[in-house]
Chains A and B, each alone.
Chain A
Amino acid sequence: MANYLLRRLLIAIPSLLGISVILFVVLALAPGDPFGELTTNPAIPPEVRANLRASLGLDDPIHLRYISWLTAMMKGDWGYSFVSRIPVDQLILQRLPTTLAVIGISQIVALAIALPVGVYAATRPYSIFDQVANTLAFVGFSLPTFFTGLVFILIFSITLDWLPFVYRTGIDASGWRWWWEQFRQSIMPIMVLGLFQGATWTRFVRSAVLDVIRLDYVTTARSKGLTEGTVTMKHVVRNAMIPVVTLVALQMPAVFGGAIVTEQIFRVPGIGSLLITSILANDTPVIMAVTFVFAALVIFFNLLADILYGWLDPRISYS
């Protein structure tokens, strides 16, 4: 097992390198520079602009910049943000917990919706429940998250005035009130992401369960006199989870993509919104680092999925 993990981690290294090269090249070729706003400002002489560019090393050839980035990265130096002069790792660490919390909880919500609904629908295919659940799932993922987010704001913040739609990091409260405020402001972004993913996963779960439920060993389980619940949970769901885990892992990039949009709408200070602002500001070190962190997270989740897969399916051997 440890051996397998080690091997997987070793495989991940060339992947990360490959990704970093692609990202770096694309970023280096990308138009725009961090001083867009300076050009419109008549008070700034051109030589100051040139000085700035030189001081940030923007005028070196690409490969040199890549190598210096890579060596610095190896040493744990992620560079400084062009626009705020904060070490990039500090900037990301400041925001990563929020993103992970929002994404994490929303994924739990998604699973909490997808598992029961998908399983229940699959055990009664083409029943009314199944049809309704299916239709709702389609509604769920045929609406873009930017749109659902807005509808949520209109309903819960503006019409009903129940929830705030601006996510604030500095809540002036403590104890229970703090948690309550935190809950109130997090619920919409979490639900938007969670419902969208939940809709997609409901379809995955339903179809995976449908595939499993007609298999012989399910009949075997039933012939043992197990209750229907036990059969479903122990023999159907457990096995159906195997493909679902893979699909969920494959969905991770989409989840992060959705998080970017959601963070933007609700002003959640996570790394998604950091990415958007840094793209808009052409803050290359931050873009590079954030996209790289995204990639690493995706690889990490795929690794996790592989491990989970192996745990769920004894036929997979780690040797």
Chain B
Amino acid sequence: MVSGVILLTLILGVLLGPLVWTLPIDEIDFSARLQGPSWEHPLGTDDLGQDLLARILYGGRISLAVGFAAMLVAVVVGVVVGALAGMSGPRGDAALMWVTDLFLALPQLPLLLLIIYLFRDSLKEVVGPEVGVFILIVAVIGGFRWMPVARLVRAQFLSLREKEFVEAARALGASRTRLVVRHILPNALGPVIVAATIDVAAAILAESTLSFLGLGFPPDIPTWGRLLFDAKDHLDFSPHWALFPGLAIFLTVLSINYVGDGLRDALDPRRVQ
């Protein structure tokens, strides 16, 4: 409950915050560099004297958007692959699971590096620099996180398709697609939703690691991971710089996970009445 409220506050904060707190994110003011929190700059400033509150609010939009969008990619791909594997015959199943395992064994970090090198510019030309990088990062993070979801969905399918109600529906002559969409999928979604919440958190963290390696968004876009990365060298002298983005990531991850836990409990059929 509390976590839901916190999450909602965070989301509303980054959506509406910049409308209320209108300081520009890139106003350089050398006279106000590395200041701690004050009325003028509630969360302090960075080494160029830029207002951290404005940057965190703005960056939160991107970090949260990346988190949710990457989760969506992972879940959609995972559900589709898992469902296909679960419903197709043993051969299709084996092939799809082989692909899944292949992806699991691929070393993600170097591939991430290389893929981002490769496609950043072609995409940028089509949709512009920020959207291009956004699509790429989302696709790349999502593209490397669907495998657990696929396995989960497949396992659910395999067990669910033997259950009575599916048998019943089959006996009633339901078509394959209808069977999947109406009967199996909704029942398999419980664990998927839980996995999805974890993916949101993981994607936000993955974005920050990409920033650490210099492969995230353009450096003038202050995502939370980027802020944390920029702040790391000043940690012993200006801890506030790292503290607030770190706190934002932590609160988001925490609340998302608790929401996931709540969903899990709510969706758990074994829950004792």
Instruction: Point out residues on A near B: beta carbons under 8 Å.
Output: 11, 14-15, 18-19, 22-23, 26-27, 29-32, 135, 138-139, 141-144, 146-147, 150-151, 154, 158, 214, 250, 253-254, 256-257, 260-261, 275, 279, 287, 290-291, 294-295, 298-299, 302
Contact = CB atoms under 8 A, between A and B. Distances in A.
B228 A26 contact: no
Contacts of B270: 214
Contacts of A146: 209, 212, 229, 232
A128 B81 CA distance: 41
Contacts of B29: none
CB-based closest 9 A-B pairs? A142-B253, A294-B107, A298-B105, A291-B107, A142-B250, A138-B254, A30-B114, A257-B109, A26-B114
Contacts of A11: 98
B254 A142 contact: yes
A23 B270 CA distance: 44
Contact of B212 (A139, A144, A253, A291): A144
Contacts of B249: 142-143
Nearest to A288: B110
17 contacts: A14-B98, A15-B98, A26-B115, A26-B118, A29-B114, A30-B114, A141-B201, A142-B205, A143-B250, A146-B209, A146-B229, A154-B235, A250-B151, A257-B107, A257-B108, A275-B109, A298-B105
A124 to B, nearest CB: 16
B104 interface: yes
B114 A256 contact: no
A138 B236 contact: no
A29 B250 CA distance: 37
B106 interface: yes
Interface string B216-250: 00000000010011001001100000100010011
A135 B253 contact: no
A27 B205 CA distance: 26
A295 B106 CA distance: 6
Contacts of B114: 26-27, 29-30
A19 B102 contact: yes
A257 B148 CA distance: 17
Max chain B Cβ within 10 angstroms of own Cβ: one of A146, A158, A250, A261: A146
Contacts of B8: none
A24 to B, nearest CB: 11
B102 A253 contact: no
